[in-house]
Chains A and B, each alone.
Chain A
Amino acid sequence: MVSRRQFIKNTGKASLALWLGATSNGFANTAFIIDAPSNFTPFIKIEKSGKITIFNTKPEMGQGTFQSIPALIAEELEVSLDEITIVQTSGEKQFGSGQAAGGSSSIRGNYNEYRKIGAAAKEMLIKAASIKWGIGIESCYAENGKVYSSKSDKSFSYGELIEEASKLELPKEPKLKNKSDFKIIGKSIQRPDIPLKVSGKVEYGIDVELPNMVYATVYRSPVIGGTLKNFDAAATLKVPGVIKVVEAKRIVGKYNYSGVAVIAQSYWSALQGRKVLKVEWDTHGYENFNLSDYENKLRNLSKEAGVIDKNIGNVESIKIEPENAIESFYETPMVAHHTLEPMNCIAHVNGDMLEIWTSTQVPSAITGSGPNDLHSQIGIKPENIKLHSKFIGGGFGRRLYTDYVIEAVNIAKQIAQPVKVIWSREDTTQHSALRPMTFSQLKGGFSKEGELISFQHKVISPSYFDSVGSSFDKSKVDAIMVEGIGEQAYEIPNIKTSYVYADFHVPVAAWRSVTSSTVAFAHECFVDELAHKINKDPFDFRLQMLSKESDTKRVLLKLKEVSNWDKSLPKGKGRGVAQWGFFAGLCAHVVEVSIAEDNSIKIDKVIAVIDLGEVVNPNNVKNQVEGAIVMALTAAIKPGITIENGKIKQSNFNDSPLIRIHETPEIEVHILADGGKIKGVGEPGLPPFAPALANAIFSITGKRIRKMPFDLNLF
């Protein structure tokens, strides 16, 4: 809190504004523009003119936080979204270390905290008005950015109240609105970023243009792990527009790479220069690596016991008759993020100061002072780093990494001007960290009475934690790689989940819904196999393992109803079901398929139920789930990424194709938002799709798919 004296002192300076926000212990706080407490995170700024600014700390990559975070604050503050100015933060210190978007966490992590900030501000403004009018606060109410008196027709705009409000104590426990009074939350209000995106005026990192800016492209070792021996830039430097050729170092998790950057007056000139650049790489030990060999290694590793993740009951001592036991092996590929905006970053090093313009999911990791933040990798003090965080042309986990920022900074250190480093599509495909493959061994056992009494899921894969840091303890489970497999709601008396580590020299990344995007395929297809083993309907089989009340049970019951599962399908049609609950949230799909004239599988419809607890913008949630399903469809049926002779084989959308409009099925999304635990939106729609599709294909062809990707034309 600031004192009255500070207030008077500050009014003489710049613009007077009431700032409201949160301290590290989560409480709402207030302060003036200067002398704010050090741990104060401002979220609302109300100026005397009546202008209200709400700061959004969660980068916008398509998921809608540019609206949804301010919406939570505006709802309680009683201002419409049209009346506020939304400012995207750029990793500034005062906005704290939570300026990052990932793990579907923006809303589920802070739903009530953001509302409390708005509610506290509103309570103070109401109290200020009641003091000015000399009436009780019960006779005042806030609406549309004003405080009204219910005893007369008088009103104050918020701007008129900030001086009085600033003298007030903070409400310790601001009262939150009843759900039934919501005007913004739960309504499908148009997103404020969409007009910008429809006019072409929205600015992504790649669109930033600075005076005196130069461009760079980087030639990186085609063989992953190759190191730079030497380069000859003589021909490159003769290309018109080329200015300089320098070494460019990049760090990806625990890996250090070196490339050669061609700096030029235009990106096109830089590309021409790169074509004639001669580089020698030392690829010893890496040039004979083939992914098919590595996959054989993973298959062999499945014989190892691995490290136990969850062990419920006693799987080992249960006696299962051979005819009551089944075992299956599932495989998934590596995939690329393929954000449509390729990697790019502008960096300008001026003395010991660094300025960065880029699209990133982690502004806080670029400006932060933590041990693993950017400063530790580039040797520039965090207080000297200024970031301009731009709209993101696709994240999906790729932009959780800052390797492209590190590389741009290392190039910028070698030239006085701001430099825009653009990765070509080929660069982005071949030099980005990838979602690793996971192989799964599953075992199930029934009692003589046909009860599922034993379930085992062992994941064999490279390790995410091993890739991002060198301190991974291989005697422990990588929790990311067994994500969700020990947490399904099915009531099975004996469950064992485990993990077998596989050494890998290729950087691996989180990819939308992380490991759930692969292990859910194995897990939920195997549940289908178990149902068919005892001739049970796969939907009923799941529900029978859900006797207790749970979110999973509610979602499946809703899905059974909206998909008309109880009605039999017309002849020639099949369907499959799958669900997945994990850290990010919970979703279940029914996929309906038929066999087309050319004997290929046609996906007729996808019906999804996502459980959120609370929903901010239903139309946006539907868009997210539709998108997650399309992305899941690509991962299910389009080729993944492969490595031959140490090089990534795919380079662009011609050899790493993505789903297109004519391949997109009809999608119907239902939202459950009837209270309960608040869950995420961006990722949960993805994991259940591939297993629901594979289960649907089994229902119509009798062929069990145990490997992704699978071809819809081969049935």
Chain B
Amino acid sequence: MKTLWAYLLKYEFYNCLIFVFFCLIFINLKLYNKLSCIDKCHAFHLLKKQYYMAIINLKINGKDYPVDVDPQMPLLWAIRDFVGLKGTKYGCGIAQCGACTVHLNGQPVRSCSLPVVAVANKNITTIEGLSEDNSHPVQKAWIEEQVPQCGYCQSGQIMAAAALLSKNASPTEADIDAAMQGHICRCGTYPRIKRAIQKASETKPSKE
């Protein structure tokens, strides 16, 4: 064995290095392929040229995503374009339409108007984190009532409804109006949104 190593080191040193190098690439590629699309997107953005001094850690749906962005960048664009979660939508950019709603420590917030620096290491939940399989009571009710038309606002609507029901298991119509009136649906699915929330409230939502 000793002689083999001695031989390899003496005569095949560079070949060995090349072999080890390719092994490493192979292992890395295997690992990379195991990543989800979202992780790939995130990895891709981390490889991009770095512009900002600080890397901010975003804790989204229970996972850590360090992002190298302008600390003043709204959370929305970090979630969409740097973490790669596209379920959270851009609608107005000024907290008027609610399409960008996510949960921050369980509270519904407008990610278009929150700089990333303000939410570092805080618990953020997006529509993708609500359930893996549409099993959240609000999502189930949304399907039963066939709420969406174009669907663009619905991630935000669902996040707001889920937050409402986690605080108030049986909201009145006035409670629903108060919790949901920050959300615009241009297709006009409001009657169904109301019915779906009422339906979900009957099924007693589990804690997210």
A268 contacts B77, C-beta separation under 8 Å: yes
Residue of B41, B94, B128, B150 near A341 (CB, 8 A) is B150
Question: Once the chains are docked, how many angstroms separate the CA of A662 from the CA of B41?
Answer: 39
Residues from chain A with Cβ under 8 Å of B208 in the complex: none
A425 contacts B70, C-beta separation under 8 Å: no
A664 contacts partner chain B, Cβ-Cβ < 8 Å: yes
A619 contacts partner chain B, Cβ-Cβ < 8 Å: yes
Q: What's the least CB distance linking B96 to chain A, in Å?
A: 4
Q: Please, which residue of chain B has its CB at the minimum distance from the CB of A212?
A: B44
A200 contacts B127, C-beta separation under 8 Å: yes
B148 contacts partner chain A, Cβ-Cβ < 8 Å: yes
Q: What's the least CB distance linking A237 to chain B, in Å?
A: 14
B180 contacts partner chain A, Cβ-Cβ < 8 Å: yes
A266 contacts B81, C-beta separation under 8 Å: yes
B171 contacts partner chain A, Cβ-Cβ < 8 Å: no
A61 contacts B69, C-beta separation under 8 Å: no
B191 contacts A626, C-beta separation under 8 Å: yes
Residues from chain B with Cβ under 8 Å of A204 in the complex: 152
A269 contacts B70, C-beta separation under 8 Å: yes
Question: Once the chains are docked, how many angstroms separate the CA of A660 from the CA of B176?
Answer: 12
Q: Please, which residue of chain B has its CB at the minimum distance from the CB of A272?
A: B70
Asked if A268 meets B74 with Cβ closer than 8 Å, knowing A200-B88, A627-B149, the reply is yes
Q: What's the least CB distance linking B98 to chain A, in Å?
A: 10
B186 contacts A394, C-beta separation under 8 Å: yes
A195 contacts B143, C-beta separation under 8 Å: yes
CB within 8 Å of A: which of B73-129? 73-74, 77, 80-82, 84-94, 96-97, 99, 126-128
Q: What's the least CB distance linking A206 to chain B, in Å?
A: 7
Q: What's the least CB distance linking A511 to chain B, in Å?
A: 12
B149 contacts A624, C-beta separation under 8 Å: yes
Q: What's the least CB distance linking B50 to chain A, in Å?
A: 10
A199 contacts B70, C-beta separation under 8 Å: no
A197 contacts B188, C-beta separation under 8 Å: no
B86 contacts A200, C-beta separation under 8 Å: yes
A674 contacts partner chain B, Cβ-Cβ < 8 Å: no
Q: Please, which residue of chain A has its CB at the minimum distance from the CB of B85?
A: A200
Identify which of A195, A197, A211, A267 gathers the most chain B CB atoms within 10 Å of its CB.
A197
Question: Once the chains are docked, how many angstroms separate the CA of A266 from the CA of B116?
Answer: 15
Residues from chain A with Cβ under 8 Å of B84 in the complex: 209
B150 contacts A61, C-beta separation under 8 Å: yes
A661 contacts B92, C-beta separation under 8 Å: no
B148 contacts A660, C-beta separation under 8 Å: no
Asked if A195 meets B177 with Cβ closer than 8 Å, knowing A339-B186, A394-B150, the reply is no
Chain B 42-64 interface mask (CB, 8 Å, partner A; 1/0): 00100011011000000000000
Q: What's the least CB distance linking B56 to chain A, in Å?
A: 13
B155 contacts A200, C-beta separation under 8 Å: yes
Q: Give the A interface residue count (CB, 8 A).
A: 67
A442 contacts partner chain B, Cβ-Cβ < 8 Å: no
Question: Once the chains are docked, how many angstroms separate the CA of A22 from the CA of B44?
Answer: 44
B192 contacts partner chain A, Cβ-Cβ < 8 Å: yes
B70 contacts A268, C-beta separation under 8 Å: yes
Question: Once the chains are docked, how many angstroms separate the CA of A630 from the CA of B147?
Answer: 14
B146 contacts A619, C-beta separation under 8 Å: yes
Chain B 184-208 interface mask (CB, 8 Å, partner A; 1/0): 1111111111100000000000000
Chain A 185-217 interface mask (CB, 8 Å, partner B; 1/0): 000101101111111111110110101000100
Residues from chain A with Cβ under 8 Å of B81 in the complex: 209, 215, 266-268
Residue of A198, A209, A619, A626 near B154 (CB, 8 A) is A198
Q: Please, which residue of chain B has its CB at the minimum distance from the CB of A60?
A: B150
A201 contacts B77, C-beta separation under 8 Å: no
Residue of B48, B126, B143 near A265 (CB, 8 A) is B48
Q: What's the least CB distance linking B190 to chain A, in Å?
A: 4
A424 contacts B93, C-beta separation under 8 Å: yes
Identify which of A193, A619, A630, A666 gathers the most chain B CB atoms within 10 Å of its CB.
A630
Residue of A62, A268, A626 near B69 (CB, 8 A) is A268
CB within 8 Å of A: which of B25-54? 41, 44, 48-49, 51-52
B168 contacts partner chain A, Cβ-Cβ < 8 Å: no
Asked if A62 meets B193 with Cβ closer than 8 Å, knowing A198-B142, A200-B155, A266-B81, the reply is no
B139 contacts partner chain A, Cβ-Cβ < 8 Å: yes
Q: Please, which residue of chain B has its CB at the minimum distance from the CB of A196?
A: B151
A220 contacts partner chain B, Cβ-Cβ < 8 Å: no
B165 contacts partner chain A, Cβ-Cβ < 8 Å: no
Residues from chain A with Cβ under 8 Å of B41 in the complex: 209
Q: Please, which residue of chain B has its CB at the minimum distance from the CB of A338?
A: B186
Identify which of B81, B150, B182 gathers the most chain A CB atoms within 10 Å of its CB.
B150
Residue of B85, B151, B193 near A393 (CB, 8 A) is B151
A197 contacts B92, C-beta separation under 8 Å: no
Question: Once the chains are docked, how many angstroms separate the CA of A190 from the CA of B140?
Answer: 12
Chain A 645-667 interface mask (CB, 8 Å, partner B; 1/0): 00000001110001111101011
Chain A 312-350 interface mask (CB, 8 Å, partner B; 1/0): 000000000000000000000000001111100000000
B44 contacts A661, C-beta separation under 8 Å: no
Question: Once the chains are docked, how many angstroms separate the CA of A666 from the CA of B175?
Answer: 17
Q: Please, which residue of chain B has its CB at the minimum distance from the CB of A425?
A: B92
A240 contacts partner chain B, Cβ-Cβ < 8 Å: yes
Question: Once the chains are docked, how many angstroms separate the CA of A341 from the CA of B74?
Answer: 18
A16 contacts partner chain B, Cβ-Cβ < 8 Å: no
A241 contacts partner chain B, Cβ-Cβ < 8 Å: yes
B184 contacts A653, C-beta separation under 8 Å: yes
B188 contacts A340, C-beta separation under 8 Å: no
Q: What's the least CB distance linking B30 to chain A, in Å?
A: 20
B193 contacts A661, C-beta separation under 8 Å: yes
Asked if A652 meets B92 with Cβ closer than 8 Å, knowing A193-B151, A266-B69, A627-B188, the reply is yes
B163 contacts partner chain A, Cβ-Cβ < 8 Å: no
Question: Once the chains are docked, how many angstroms separate the CA of A338 from the CA of B188?
Answer: 12
A660 contacts B181, C-beta separation under 8 Å: yes
Residues from chain B with Cβ under 8 Å of A64 in the complex: 149
Residues from chain B with Cβ under 8 Å of A194 in the complex: 142-143, 146-148, 151
Q: What's the least CB distance linking B162 to chain A, in Å?
A: 11
Give 10 A-B contacts (CB < 8 Å), ordered by A residue. A64-B149, A188-B146, A190-B146, A198-B151, A198-B158, A200-B126, A340-B89, A340-B91, A623-B149, A658-B184
**Top 3 A-B pairs ranked by shortest CB distance?**
A200-B87, A630-B188, A197-B151
Q: Which residues of A contact B (CB under 8 A)?
A: 61-64, 188, 190-191, 193-204, 206-207, 209, 211, 215, 240-241, 265-269, 272, 338-342, 391-396, 422, 424-425, 619-620, 623-624, 626-631, 652-654, 658-662, 664, 666-667
Q: Which residues of B contact A (CB under 8 A)?
A: 41, 44, 48-49, 51-52, 69-70, 73-74, 77, 80-82, 84-94, 96-97, 99, 126-128, 131, 133-134, 139, 142-143, 146-155, 158, 176-178, 180-194
